[in-house]
Structure 1
Amino acid sequence: MGPQSNLLSLLVALAAVFSSLYLINPIPQYLINALSPSSAYLGKPLSGNFQRHHKKHPDSGNTDSICDDFPPGIPPPDTSNTSYLCVDRKGCCNFTTVQAAVNAVPDFSVKRTIIWINSGMYYEKVMVPKTKPNITFQGQGYTSTAIAWNDTALSANGTFYSGSVQVFASNFIAKNISFMNLAPMPSPGAVGAQAVAIRVSGDQSEFKGCGFFGAQDTLHDDKGRHYFKDCYIQGSIDFIFGNARSLYVNCEIVSIANPVPVGQRSINGAVTAHGRVSGDENTGFAFVNSTVGGNGRIWLGRAWRPYSRVVFAFTSMSDIIAPEGLSSMENITAQGQVLTQT
C-alpha cells in the first residue's frame, strides 16, 4: 500500500476511538493540518481562583453559560496531602492547557497535585520536568480526554524529543487519559518518521485506564520503574520501546501495521524494542494477562540492544505474530530474549 493508504488506516483507527469527543475541529483536520506551537488552540492560564466563566454559546448567541454542564465540585478543596488544579479547554477552569497547569505546580512539592483534565482534545506538547514530582493527570476516560501533538524524529531533532508528552519527574500518575502522536503512519524503514506519543523517564510512574496512540515508537518506556494497568496501546513498529523495568497488566496491545497477503512471510512490524545494554541491568518489559492482536505480520519484539528482555505471560496472541517471535536489529548480536506462555 502507498502512503495515502497508510495515513487512511491511522485516520480510521483514531477517528473510531475519538468519535465521541467534542472537538473544536474534526479529527481529520487535526491530523492533516500541520499546526504550530503558536496555534490558537494553545490557550493561556486564566487569572484568579477557579470560577464559572459565563460565556455565550458560540452558535446560539444567547447568554447561557457554556460551563453550565460542568461537573459540580471540581476541583475539590485541597487537603493537607493533596492539591487540585483544573484544566478545561473551553475556559471553565483555572487553566485551558495542561502545560500551564503543570507549570503552576510548585517545584519539588511533597504533596500530590492532581491535575483534573476535562473531556476534549488538548493539542499541545507537554513536558513534566524533574522538578515537578508527584503529579497526577486525571482524565475523563481514554476515549474522551487526550493530549496530542505531531512531532517526528525529523521535526524534533531526534526520536527521544518527539514525544507529545515527556515525563521526567518521579511518582507521576496518569488515569483515564490518552496520549497521541498524530504524525502520519510511516512505511517500514522510513527515515526520521519515528513519532512518540509519550516518553516516560521518571521513576515509579503509574498508568491506569490510559490510551497510547501512534504508529512507529508510540510509547517510549525510557527508564525507571513503571506500572501499566488496563491500558490500550496501539502502534506499528517498535511501539513499546526503551530500557525501563515495567509491568503491563491486563493491557490491550494492537498492531496497526498493514495487512500482509495470505501466503507472504514478510514482517512489517514489531511490538517491542527493549534496550538492555548488559546482563547486569535489572530492566525488562513484562506483559501479564494481556492481549496482542490487530493487523500485519509482526514480531513480539526485536532487540534494540544486545540484552533485550521481554516476557509475555498468560497473554493471548492472534496469528499476526510471526512464529520466530524475536528478531535482532542490524549489527546487534541476537542475545535478546522473548519468553511466551499462553
Structure 2
Amino acid sequence: MSKLVVAKDKTGDFNTIQAAIDKIPENNIYPIEIFIKQGIYREVINIPAEKQFIKLIGEDKFKTVISYDNFNGKLKEDGTKYGTTGSSTAFLYADNFQAENLTFANTHLRDQYQDDGSQAVAVKSQGDKMVFKNVRFLGHQDTLYANQGRQYFSDCYIEGDVDFIFGAAQAVFENCQIHSLDRNKDINGYITAASTSINDAYGFLFIDCEFTADTAADTVYLGRPWHPGGDPDAIAAVVIRDSQLGKHIKKTGWTQMSGFSPAEARLFEYNNYGPGAVTNSSRRTLTEKQAQEFTIKDVLKDWKPQIK
C-alpha cells in the first residue's frame, strides 16, 4: 500500500481523498503516497497525528483542488459555530507530512454574510517536519494557519487579505509568492499574524519571496503580533529577507493588534528590495551579522527537508 490513487471519475482506488486517508493504518512508519488526479474535491480532509509519512501528490497544482467553504460564524447542526480553527478545509496534524502540486482552498464568500465571523481557513498545519512544495493556498481571512512544529514551504503561492499567514509554527517560506487581495478599503489587510511562543527563538522566515497584490499602494501591512486569548507569552517572530516587496506594502510596515505593539514583538527585515522595501524607524532591519543567525538551517535546526 505504498501508493493510493484518488480520482473523481472512479478510475482510481478511491473517489475521495478522505477515503484514502482513512485506509492508511495508524502508527504507520513507511511513506505512503496518495496521488490525486485532476478535479475539484469538495470535502474537508483530516490527517490525524497518528498517521505519519503521508504524501498528498496532485496531478496538477491548478487542476487538483481540495476545497470547502466553512467559516467561523457558520452554524453547525448542533447550533454552535465552527470557529476559526474549525472552519479549515484541511486539518493536517501528522508529522513527516508532504504535499505537492495541488491547491487547498477555502471558498467562503464573506461579502454574502453580515457578521464578524468571516475567518475561513484553507489549511491548519500542526505537525513537525511538514513539507509543502508547489502548492497553492487560497482564501481571504486566515488562509494558512501554520500553528505548530517545523514547516517548509517551497515554490508555493499563498493569497488572502487579513492575517492570512498566522500561527506559532517555525515555518520557512522559500521562493514563494505572497499575494494580498483587495478589500477596497484604506487598509487592505495584514499579511502575517504570528503567535510565536516566547520560548521559541524563531517563528516565520520568508526568504527569496515575492510579495504581490491586487491592491492600491501603501495599503497592506507586513503583519501584526497575535496574542491568542491575550497570551503575554506569544511574542510574534517574523523575518522577511532577500525578498521583493511590492508598492502595496505600507511604509510603516507593521502595526499593533488588540493593543499589543509591534515594537514589543520580534519583527525584522533584511536586504529586501522593490518599491515596498522602505527603511525607517518603524521597520527594524537586521545587521549583516544578525542576518547570519536567521537562515533556513537556523529555523529548521537539524532537519533538512528532502523533496523527491
TM-score by length of structure 2 reads 0.79
For residue 236 of structure 1, the aligned residue among 154, 161, 166 is: 161
**Aligned residue pair count:** 254
What does residue 281 of structure 1 align with?
200
Looking at structure 1, the residues matched to 43 and 210 of structure 2 have their Cα atoms a distance apart, in angstroms, of 31
Q: 1:321 to 1:333 in 2, by over 3 A?
A: closer
Q: 1:164 to 1:330 in 2, by over 3 A?
A: same
Secondary structure of 1:101's counterpart equals helix
Shift of residue 259 of structure 1? Answer: 4.5
Map Cα deviations across residues 316-336 of structure 1 (whole Å, 9 max, x no partner): 011100011111201324312
Map Cα deviations across residues 129-162 of structure 1 (whole Å, 9 max, x no partner): 0111100000012111010000001125211111
Map Cα deviations across residues 81-121 of structure 1 (whole Å, 9 max, x no partner): xx100100110011000000000001111111100000010
Looking at structure 2, the residues matched to 318 and 216 of structure 1 have their Cα atoms a distance apart, in angstroms, of 20
Looking at structure 1, the residues matched to 115 and 164 of structure 2 have their Cα atoms a distance apart, in angstroms, of 15
Secondary structure of 1:258's counterpart equals coil
What does residue 303 of structure 1 align with?
225
Looking at structure 1, the residues matched to 115 and 168 of structure 2 have their Cα atoms a distance apart, in angstroms, of 23
Looking at structure 2, the residues matched to 282 and 237 of structure 1 have their Cα atoms a distance apart, in angstroms, of 25
Instruction: Select the structure of larger CA radius of gyration.
Output: 1
Moved more, 268-277 or 207-216: 268-277
The sequence identity of aligned pairs, in percent, is 32
Looking at structure 1, the residues matched to 204 and 40 of structure 2 have their Cα atoms a distance apart, in angstroms, of 30
Q: 1:94 to 1:215 in 2, by over 3 A?
A: same
Looking at structure 2, the residues matched to 302 and 326 of structure 1 have their Cα atoms a distance apart, in angstroms, of 6
Q: CA RMSD in A?
A: 1.6
1:147 aligns with 2:147: no
Secondary structure of 1:163's counterpart equals coil
What does residue 202 of structure 1 align with?
127
Alignment of 1:250-289 (within 5 A): 250-259=175-184, 266-278=186-198, 280-289=199-208
Alignment of 1:160-179 (within 5 A): 160-179=85-104
Kindly provide the amino acid, as one letter, of the partner of residue 338 in structure 1.
L
Alignment of 1:172-191 (within 5 A): 172-185=97-110, 191=116
Secondary structure of 2:148's counterpart equals coil
Shift of residue 281 of structure 1? Answer: 1.9
Secondary structure of 1:147's counterpart equals strand
Secondary structure of 2:247's counterpart equals coil
TM-score by length of structure 1 reads 0.71
Structure 2 residue runs of 5 or longer lacking an equivalent are: 75-80, 228-233, 273-308
